[in-house]
Every structure is written in structure tokens, then in C-alpha cells.
Amino acid sequence: MPHSAHRTEDGLEVEKRIPAQRPENGAGQVEGAFKRALIEEALTRLDREQREVLVALHYCRFPVSEVAVQLNIPTRTVNARALSALKAIRSFLNQSPQP
């Protein structure tokens, strides 16, 4: 699987794994692009701490313990930030128009 590495504002080095994309039909491509754009918008609305944790856990697939070490915070804090970030994203997506 292809990947790229970059650093967050705090200097946390993250490796972003880029999943292979399945070919989609025209309608599926539009819907997929719309969903990705909504999720990107939702991520920009999170505070920096929530976004860092969510990206490290869900996009980079780091374990909670590794995120805690990298950010120098307790694992309970990692879990709490992830939960609040997911709730905020869910709320944003529920308020957004559907294609």
C-alpha cells in the first residue's frame, strides 16, 4: 500500500497510508467525492488537538498507546479526544445536505 509521511503542527510524524481506490461508476465517483469533501470540511472544524488524535488513529492507523506517547498525553485523553472528535464530525455530517 502506498504511503507518505509528514509532520503535524506539534512535530508528530505521521505516515498516511493511501488505500487503493476501486474504480467506481460516474454516480459513485460523485457521491464519493461529495462524502470526502464533507469529511474534510468536518475535520477543519475540529480543534487542533481533536484533529491530531483522529488523524493519527483513523487515517494513520496508529495504536492509542503510540498516539499517547507521541503527543505526551495519557491514553485516556487520546480516547476522550477521539470520542469527542467523532461526535462532532457526526453532528456536522447529520446537519449537512445529502447529494
The whole-number pLDDT of residue 3 equals 47
What angle, rounded to 10 degrees, do the helices at 26-45 and 75-95 form? 130
What domains lie within the chain, and their CATH numbers? 3-95 (1.10.10.10)
Q: How many other C-beta atoms are found inside a 10 Å radius of the C-beta of residue 84? A: 16
| pLDDT by position in tens, the chain (length 99) | 444 455 555 555 555 554 555 555 666 788 888 888 888 999 999 999 999 999 999 989 999 999 999 999 999 999 999 999 999 999 998 897 776
Task: Report yes or no on whether pTM surpasses 0.75.
Answer: no
The whole-number pLDDT of residue 1 equals 43
